[in-house]
């Protein structure tokens, strides 16, 4: 076919196992299409957003009230970001539950952790950009963490350069540095998924590890998988649009320096009680313990078995940590707001 001769699309019809099309194994692909929606809507928002402390919040109001399709595009960007955060965490949970971080996928697990950090960084910087009370307090935490990092925290400090307010640098992080890093990590992530193939179902992998038959590699094709991912991508877009119409993304009052009256977005809430109990240092050591523990996982849990009943200890620890974090998040949501910032920005 003439088109195929030029674009080589039939090369996408290589075999993948049928279970790759199940919802658990498609969460990474859904996250990817979510990022495509975020990039597209983000480019539109960038036409109207103004990254200076004086004009930032006003330009968000302009997007809401005057820019063509501005309120819809902002809403879809906001809701898709929340959905992607959830699908990335669920994807991590699936990879954990099915033991897919084990040999030979240890490096791809680490690359995945890098992608998780980038995703959190994008949500964080995005929150600051709207420059309302919540965004301003988030920036306050950013600056405090910079202080805790000592000489290594220079980039997070408002004093790094006198020529550009820190908001401008966080904007560059949001639209250039983090998306660029994310794109590089995604390319490596996808290449390794292609090299290793999607992991076999745990029961089949365990049978093979015990000397049984090797798991079948076919059953579906990547083209079918891709179309399914695309379908879910459109679904995310549609759900985000409906959510926008029901519940427009928030824009709080103009910031008042020295006040601390908001709580962070839901993905950061589990750290909030630790900040209440142990102070701002918790912003460093809680994520360090969580990311460190996740990074060590494939090198500690080295048995060839992947089904849950043969990994009871690891599954139990994972469940305790996940339930603990959800519990902390709920506790933070229902407890009174507290002041943590030292300098009060």
Rounded CA-CA distance 99/203 in Å is 11
Cβ-contact 328, 270 below 8 angstroms: yes
27-46 and 70-97 helices cross at what angle (nearest 10)?
160
**Residue of the chain from 21, 41, 80, 119 that contacts ligand HEM (CB under 6 A):** 119
Cβ-contact 287, 121 below 8 angstroms: no
Pick 140 or 202: Cβ nearer ligand HEM: 202
Pick 131 or 268: Cβ nearer ligand HEM: 268
**Residue of the chain from 116, 143, 201, 243 that contacts ligand HEM (CB under 6 A):** 116
Pick 251 or 267: Cβ nearer ligand HEM: 267
Tell me: does residue 113 bind ligand HEM (CB under 6 A): yes
Rounded CA-CA distance 105/191 in Å is 12
Q: Quick one: residue 49, left, alpha or beta (phi over 0 = left, psi -120 to 50 = alpha)? A: beta
Residue 221 bridge partners (DSSP): 15
* Shortest reach from residue 117's CB to ligand HEM, in Å: 9
Pick 39 or 61: Cβ nearer ligand HEM: 39
Pick 57 or 189: Cβ nearer ligand HEM: 189
Tell me: does residue 124 bind ligand HEM (CB under 6 A): no
Pick 57 or 91: Cβ nearer ligand HEM: 91
**Residue of the chain from 16, 37, 85, 95 that contacts ligand HEM (CB under 6 A):** 95
Tell me: does residue 240 bind ligand HEM (CB under 6 A): no
- Give the residue ranges of DSSP H helices in 66-105: 70-97
Tell me: does residue 70 bind ligand HEM (CB under 6 A): no
Cβ-contact 282, 274 below 8 angstroms: yes
What is the DSSP annotation of 154-166? GGGSTTS-SSS-H
Rounded CA-CA distance 142/150 in Å is 13
Tell me: does residue 105 bind ligand HEM (CB under 6 A): yes
Contact footprint for ligand HEM (CB under 6 A): 25-29, 31-32, 88, 91-92, 95, 100-101, 105, 108-109, 112-113, 115-116, 119, 186, 189, 193, 198-199
């Amino acid at each position: 076919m003439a088109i195929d001769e030029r674009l080589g699309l039939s090369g996408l019809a290589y075999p993948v196992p049928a279970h790759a099309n199940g919802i658990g194994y498609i969460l990474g692909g859904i996250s990817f299409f979510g990022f495509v929606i975020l990039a597209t809507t983000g480019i539109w928002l960038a036409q109207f957003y103004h990254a200076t402390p004086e004009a930032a919040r006003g330009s968000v109001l302009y997007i809401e009230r005057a820019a063509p399709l501005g309120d819809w595009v902002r809403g879809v960007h906001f809701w898709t970001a929340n959905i992607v955060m959830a699908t990335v965490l669920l994807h991590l949970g699936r990879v954990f539950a099915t033991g897919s971080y084990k040999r030979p996928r240890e490096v791809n697990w680490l690359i995945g952790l890098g992608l998780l950090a980038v995703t959190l960084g994008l949500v964080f910087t995005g929150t600051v950009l709207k420059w309302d009370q919540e965004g301003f307090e988030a920036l306050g935490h950013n600056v405090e963490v910079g202080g805790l990092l000592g000489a290594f925290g220079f980039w997070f400090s408002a004093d790094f350069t006198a020529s550009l307010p820190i908001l401008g640098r966080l904007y560059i992080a949001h639209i250039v540095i983090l998306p660029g890093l994310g794109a590089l990590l995604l390319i490596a992530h996808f290449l390794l998924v292609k090299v290793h193939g999607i992991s076999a179902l745990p029961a089949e992998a365990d049978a093979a590890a015990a000397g049984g038959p090797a798991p079948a590699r076919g059953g579906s094709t990547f083209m079918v998988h891709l179309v399914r991912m695309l379908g879910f991508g459109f679904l995310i877009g549609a759900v985000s649009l409906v959510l926008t119409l029901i519940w427009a993304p928030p824009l709080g009052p103009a910031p008042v320096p020295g006040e601390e009256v908001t709580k962070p977005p839901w993905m950061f809430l589990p750290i909030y009680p630790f900040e209440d109990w142990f102070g701002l240092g918790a912003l460093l050591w809680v994520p360090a313990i969580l990311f460190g523990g996740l990074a060590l996982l494939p090198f500690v849990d080295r048995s060839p078995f992947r089904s849950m009943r043969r990994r009871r200890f690891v599954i139990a620890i994972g469940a305790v940590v996940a339930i603990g974090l959800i519990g902390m998040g709920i506790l933070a949501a229902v407890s009174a707001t507290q002041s943590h910032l030292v300098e009060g920005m």
